[in-house]
Amino acid sequence: MPVLSYTGAPGSGTDRVILDIEYIDREDEDVILASAARPARPGLAKFFLQLRCRESRFAAMATDIQRAIGYGDHFAFWAGDGGSRLTAPGGHMVYGYIPTRREFAESEMAIADALADAVDPAGAARTIEQASRAYERGWRHVTAFSVTDPDGDPGELHVAMMTPISAAQFRAARRDGWPDKIPAR
């Protein structure tokens, strides 16, 4: 997961900003660039270009089967450098669930309600809108489970990294403690 760290602009009230992001929209790039100290801006622009190039590679790699993975579906992927058990033997299998549109919207609204004093109320609606645009580009908001995170961790993942699995395979993997081999259908 790419991590972005930069110095805030003078008078912004922020000395250091740290974000973990998988993808970014052009409008968010503009917001970040405007909030950054002038010396940090060229490095940020390079980082955004690298993210766009990475996303283009993912889009080119994704198969029709992967692009069809959507709301309410389950998937698996190998987590480790290189992305396969052959090239990254120290990794582990990760299983995931993509919430339905309704589940995602309800989750974002609950977060906004819980943080009402600290977050702009329009933020949840903006996040849902951004997620829809990202979905069209192959990004999915997911909850991922593994031996290192058995209770699940929310995040984003491109479909090019996913192998579709059935709900029954997902349940079997959960029952078996998130094994490194996907359970048989």
Q: DSSP for 58-90? A: HHHH--HHHHT--TT-EEEEEESTTSSTTT-TT
41-61 helix and 26-35 helix, angle to the nearest 10 degrees: 160
pLDDT for res 171 = 97
Residue 20 and residue 73: Cα distance in Å, rounded?
A: 24
Q: What is the pLDDT of residues 26-74, one digit of tens each?
A: 888 998 898 899 999 999 999 999 999 999 999 999 999 999 999 999 9
* Diameter over CA atoms, the chain: 57
pLDDT tier at 117 (50, 70, 90 boundaries)?
low
The token pair at 155 is: 């995040």
**Phi, psi for 128 (deg, rounded to 5):** -65, -40
pLDDT tier at 108 (50, 70, 90 boundaries)?
confident
Q: Summarize the confidence of residues 115-140 as an average pLDDT.
A: 75
Residue 185 and residue 179: Cα distance in Å, rounded?
A: 14
**In this prediction, what percent of the chain has a pLDDT beyond 90?**
52
pLDDT tier at 107 (50, 70, 90 boundaries)?
confident
Q: What is the pLDDT of residues 146-179, one digit of tens each?
A: 999 999 999 899 999 999 999 999 999 999 999 9
